[in-house]
Amino acid sequence: MKFYGHAEEVGQRIVEAFQHPDTLPQALAPIFIHRKDDVPCRKWSWHNQLIAALCGTTDARGFRQWDEVKRKVKKGSKAVWILAPCAKTIKDKNVKGEEVVRRVLFGFRGIPVFAVEDTEGEPLPASDDRYDSWVQELPFLEVAKAWGLTVGTYTGSETTPLGYFQYGNVSGQAVMLGVENLSTWAHEMVHAADHRLANTQQKTDRAHKEIVAELGGAVLLECLGMSHDADLGGAYAYIQRYAEESKRDPVRACIEVLDRVCNCVKLIMDTAETVQQQQVVVAA
C-alpha cells in the first residue's frame, strides 16, 4: 500500500485552501499540559524536563527531596545532571537616575538529581497519569518507538514551545509535548521524519524546516481523516509567520516544499505499515 499519491492529493487540497485564508476555520487554542500531582520536576524549566525524559524517567529529585518523601538513592546509582540558573542582585540606575535593584543571570551550574527508578523506600502518592495514557494513544506512536524516539510531556505555558523534537543528543532523540494537541504531535513527527531523510534532501534554513513540519503535520492528520485536529487555520497562521520571516509568500512557500512534505508523510505511514506487518507476523 503506497501513500505518496494520497498525501500529494491532500497536500494540494490544503494548499488550495490556503489561497483563501479568510475561509479557514479559526485556529485552535492550545491546551497546555499541566499535571496535578506534586512531583518537583513538573516545575522545572522545559529544558530540564526534557533532560529527565531523555534519561527515561518522569520523576527525578535531589538527595534531600528524596529524603523528604522517605526514599533513599540506591548505592551506585548514576545522577542525572540538570542546569540551574546562577543569578545575582545588583543595584543600578534607570533613565531617570533613580536607583533600582535587579537580578542578572550570569551562567548556569549543574545539579545532580536521581530518577525515581534508582530509589527505594516508602511508596509515593499516586501520580497523575492522564497524560501518560494520552501519549500511549497518540497516532503513529509505534513509528516513534520504531525510530528510537523518547516521547514525553512537559508542563507547558505561553513562554515555552508547544512541542519540541530533540535530535543529535548523546542520550537519544525525543519528541516532547507541552500541549495536548494532535497538530503539535504531527508537526514534531514530521520534523523527525525530515531529519531521517536529511541525507537525501538539501539543507535549508529554520523557516523552511518549520513550513515543512507544519504543512506535513496538517497533511498527515488529514490523511487520517482528522480534519479538526489538522487545524488548518492555525497551520496557515504558523506558516504565514515563517514565510514572512524568510520573505516568501505563504502559498508559494507551501508549493515549494510539497514534494518534501509528501516524502515525510510517506516515511511515517510506510513505517507504520511495516510495524503493523511485523506485529502480525509475531502474533502468527
pLDDT at 5 over 70: no
Q: What are phi and psi of 24, to 5 degrees?
A: -75, 150
For residue 233, pLDDT over 90 is answered with yes
What is the reported pLDDT for 266? Answer: 94
Judge if pTM exceeds 0.85: no
Q: Amino acid identity, residue 244?
A: E
Does pLDDT of 44 surpass 60?
Answer: yes
d(CA 42, CA 34) in angstroms, rounded, equals 8
Comparing 2 with 215, which gets the higher pLDDT? 215
List phi, psi (to 5°) of 163.
Answer: -160, 170
CA separation, residue 4 to residues 152, 182, 232, 262 (Å): 29, 21, 20, 6
d(Cα 130, Cα 35) in Å, to the nearest integer? Answer: 8
Task: Output the average pLDDT for the chain.
Answer: 88
DSSP annotation of 58? S
Angle value at C-alpha 99, between 94 and 105, nearest 5 degrees: 75
pLDDT digits (tens, 9 = 90+) for 199-223: 555 557 889 999 999 999 999 999 9
Chain centroid to Cα 202, Å, comes to: 23
Q: What is the mean pLDDT of residues 2-17?
A: 81
**Each residue of 161-188: pLDDT tens digit?**
999 898 865 557 889 899 999 999 999 9
**CA distance readout (Å), 42 to 52, 108, 164, 178:** 10, 19, 17, 11
pLDDT at 53: 80
Per-residue pLDDT band for 4 (boundaries 50, 70, 90) equals: very low
Domain ranges of the chain: 4-33+129-283
**31 is written with which cell numbers?**
491546551
How many angstroms separate the CA atoms of 83 and 47, rounded?
Answer: 9
Mean pLDDT of all residues in 115-133 = 88
pLDDT at 50: 80
Compute the average pLDDT of residues 22-26.
94
CA-wise closest residue to 220 among 170, 271, 255, 172: 271
What average pLDDT does range 137-154 have in this prediction?
93
pLDDT mean over 89-114: 84
Q: CA–CA separation, 174 vs 149, rounded Å?
A: 5
The answer to whether the CB of 218 falls within 8 A of the CB of 7 is: no
- Sequence-distant (6+) residues with CB within 8 A of 162 are 30, 156, 177, 178, 179, 181, 184
Looking at the predicted structure, is the pLDDT value of residue 69 above 90? Answer: yes
| pLDDT value of residue 282 | 67
Q: How far apart are CA 163 and CA 177, in angstroms?
A: 4
Is the pLDDT confidence value at 118 over 90? yes
Taking 70 as the threshold, does the pLDDT of residue 109 lie above it? yes
- Average pLDDT value for residue range 36-51: 84
Distance between CA atoms of 255 and 265, rounded to whole angstroms?
15
